[in-house]
């Protein structure tokens, strides 16, 4: 379970290549679609949805995307930086996140985590947020205001190669959305 928890943290902190290449991909895709549309008459019928209409990339060099971005969230995640990028098996990963909390986070807050290896679900579990934040040297209540979290995470050599997808939704004990985050990390063989 600890290894999967670390994997979830790693996954939320990795694979910025996909995000940094998005604008290049979008330009190529747009040109290709214009060509296809002209040839087969599909103009106006294809809608590009990547990265998603309700998602926004989090600034910094990380793969983290804020999901449910149109929904009010207590945490405004302003920047996430990881090193090395992309992460590699057997290396330590440094993770620095900066954000602003619009209200205190108190006991009873929780996070729903879903980790997939490709299409295979590895974890779908709810964690006590106040227990988990002790891993990044915080404790509840977490006071509203600017927050900076820095953590060194060891990535085990045993991580199987492949694509990992992590989704995490954190809530207060009153079920108010703290944040929704998603990330995709690919470990090479």
pLDDT at res. 53: 82
- What count of residues does the chain have? 189
Instruction: Copy the structure tokens of residue 144.
Output: 């509203």
DSSP-derived 3-state class of residue 143: coil
The pLDDT of residue 45: 36
pLDDT tens profile 95-133: 899 999 999 999 999 999 999 999 899 999 999 999 999
Q: pLDDT tens-digit profile of 27-51?
A: 333 444 444 344 434 333 333 334 5
| Ordered DSSP codes for 86-131 | S--TTSEEEEEEEEEESS-B-TT-EEEEEEEETTEEEEEEEEEHHH
The SS3 assignment for 149 reads strand
Enumerate the domain spans of the chain: 56-187
Residue 147 three-state SS: strand
User: What pLDDT score does 51 carry?
Assistant: 56
pLDDT at 35: 42
Question: Pick the residue with more confidence: 135 or 100?
Answer: 100
Residue 73 pLDDT = 98
Strands 75-83 and 65-66: unpaired
What's the pLDDT at 189?
Answer: 84
Q: pLDDT tens, 4-24?
A: 444 444 444 333 333 333 333
- What is residue 25's three-state secondary structure? helix
Which fold is adopted by the domain 56-187?
A: Ganglioside M2 Activator Protein; Chain: A, (2.70.220)
CB 125 within 8 A of CB 144: no
Distances (CA, A) of 1 to 94, 110, 158: 21, 17, 14
C-alpha to C-alpha distance for 134 and 32, rounded to whole angstroms: 48
Give per-residue pLDDT as tens, 148-168.
999 999 999 999 999 999 999
The C-alpha atoms of residue 27 and residue 48 are separated, in whole angstroms, by 12
Q: What is the CA radius of gyration of the chain?
A: 18
Coil vs helix vs strand at 23: helix
**Which pLDDT band holds residue 188 (cuts at 50, 70, 90)?**
confident
Q: What is the pLDDT of residues 57-95, one digit of tens each?
A: 999 988 999 999 999 999 999 999 999 888 889 999 998
Residue with tokens 């090479």: 188
């Amino acid at each position: 379970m600890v290894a999967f928890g670390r994997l979830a943290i790693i996954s939320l902190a990795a694979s910025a290549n996909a995000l940094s290449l998005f604008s290049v991909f979008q330009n190529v895709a747009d040109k290709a679609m214009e060509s296809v549309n002209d040839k087969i008459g599909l103009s106006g019928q294809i809608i590009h949805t990547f990265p998603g209409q309700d998602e926004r990339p989090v600034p910094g060099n990380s793969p983290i995307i804020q999901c449910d971005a149109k929904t009010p969230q207590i945490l405004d995640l302003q920047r996430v930086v990881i090193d090395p990028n992309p992460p590699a098996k057997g290396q330590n990963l440094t993770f620095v996140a900066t954000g602003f909390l619009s209200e205190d986070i108190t006991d009873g807050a929780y996070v729903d985590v879903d980790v997939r290896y490709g299409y295979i679900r590895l974890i779908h579990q709810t964690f006590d947020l106040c227990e988990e934040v002790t891993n990044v040297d915080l404790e509840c209540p977490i006071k509203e205001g600017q927050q900076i979290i820095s953590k060194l995470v060891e990535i085990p050599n045993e991580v199987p190669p492949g694509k990992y997808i992590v989704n995490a939704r954190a809530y207060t004990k009153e079920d108010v959305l703290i944040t929704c985050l998603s990330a995709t990390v690919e470990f090479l063989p």
